[in-house]
Amino acid sequence: MPKPPPPNAPPAGELIGCIQRFLANAREPVLLEPGAELVEILAGQYALTPAPRGVRLEAWDQASNYHRRILGVKERSAGRLELVVERFGGKLAKAVLADRARHAGHGMDRTARRMVFAERLRDFLCRQFPGWRISGLTAHGDPENHLTRIYPRAMAVKGKKAWAVIAAPPGDPAGRLLTCGLIWHNYLRFRERRLFVEGLALLLPREQITATCLRLPWLNKRAVRVAVFAYGEDGWEHEVEAAHGNFETSLQPAAWTEPPAGGVGTRHAGHGPEWWLEQEVRGNPAVIDGRLLQKPVYGQVSVLAGMDRGIIDLLACSRGGRLTVIELKATADPQLPVQALDYWMRVAGHATRSEFGPAGYFPGVALTAEPPRLLLAAPAFEFHPTTEIVLSYFDPAIEVERVGLAVEWQKRIRVSFRLHGMRRPG
């Protein structure tokens, strides 16, 4: 027997009229179905025909063909039409008609690539986790739980064990993948109380693996096992060693100048709040930590090749000769801990090799070779909610302190709270 149409399904003529009116008013109509290539709907290259249940839509362009039975319209908005379609085997799915020239259609190409890549992620899981059940594969965001839509994610389950899996699609920068992966792993640990989420698998383009791999030795191995897989244009992936790659960093000769007079409350043309915050801390580091020498305080002394950084780095020194890395951020950023780690581990490398003194840093101070302290300073309400989560995955050997600044920080720097150490995953 033929399957009945979905509840409240419109007559075929009404459905065809609705779609044709949308296409007539759209300047750049495209059709997107999760897991399928984006299809441009061009004049003379599509057909709508009545069917026993709904309407058959056929569309083709230079790159792909689309053939589905449309059963109804789920949602309408300006520049967007969400359709209910029947896939092979009778399964219901969603497809979206959108006008790429309107706001509702902006980013459709990128969304389509991510959804197609989500299906590629399914293939990866089947190869790398044979016999495991794939759960929760999605390319959608979840702002409430700070889960991004940029990177498709899933969970692989076998018995009582599970792995969190997250992937960076081609064309999207992979620099934030580790941060988003740790947030995903933490989310699953608390959601799946009956499972032991033992690992985190990262899948990213072969040319972007180095920065991520260099961070992994500084994670707490008791908190999470991390496996990195690199893929190329051939569509196949392979696991890489966590220690893959070398530091691409160089220590510049010491150069220090007095910060501009006036401090954080003084406006300087062309500079924003973060710049003011840097000048205040450089001019008086004791405002955030009384153990620090008054001067000098250096700005980004180690050149990080290929790093995309939106956070200000400072290097100070305690009276006992121990280096202190200071990371400043005026607005909430989930990437703050990992970007701070990028800078800290490079400073730590130079410190253990006793390279700062010969390069002219902190003249007259007997510098120690122990790893530096790490201070994260930001307005108290601008620490991202995931900051503590990400820090909880850091190696306990990294001495981290969060310094929250009082609300009037743009007029006067005053510490509102100081948090030592990191919560460990339970």
Give the model's pLDDT for residue 132: 96
Q: Is 405 left (phi over 0), alpha (psi -120 to 50) or beta?
A: beta
Please report, for the chain, the start and end positions of each structural domain, with discontinuous segments joined by +.
Answer: 12-106, 112-240, 249-420
End-to-end Cα, the chain, rounded Å: 54
For 52-63, what is each residue's pLDDT tens digit? 788 898 888 776
Residues of the chain with pLDDT under 70: 1-9, 34-37, 63, 103-115, 242-249, 260-270, 300-312, 421-426
Task: Return the CATH number of 112-240, one of 3.30.460, 2.30.130, 3.40.1350, 3.40.50.
Answer: 3.40.1350
- 254: DSSP letter: P
**CB-based contact 230:204 (threshold 8 Å):** yes
Give the model's pLDDT for residue 305: 46
Give the model's pLDDT for residue 302: 59
Task: Return the CATH number of 12-106, one of 2.60.120, 2.70.180, 3.30.420, 1.10.3470.
Answer: 2.70.180
Q: ω into residue 425 within 30 of 0, thus cis?
A: no
For 226-249, what is each residue's pLDDT tens digit? 999 999 887 789 999 866 555 666
Q: For residues 401 and 253, give the distance between their C-alpha atoms in angstroms, rounded to a whole number.
A: 28
**CB-based contact 197:164 (threshold 8 Å):** yes
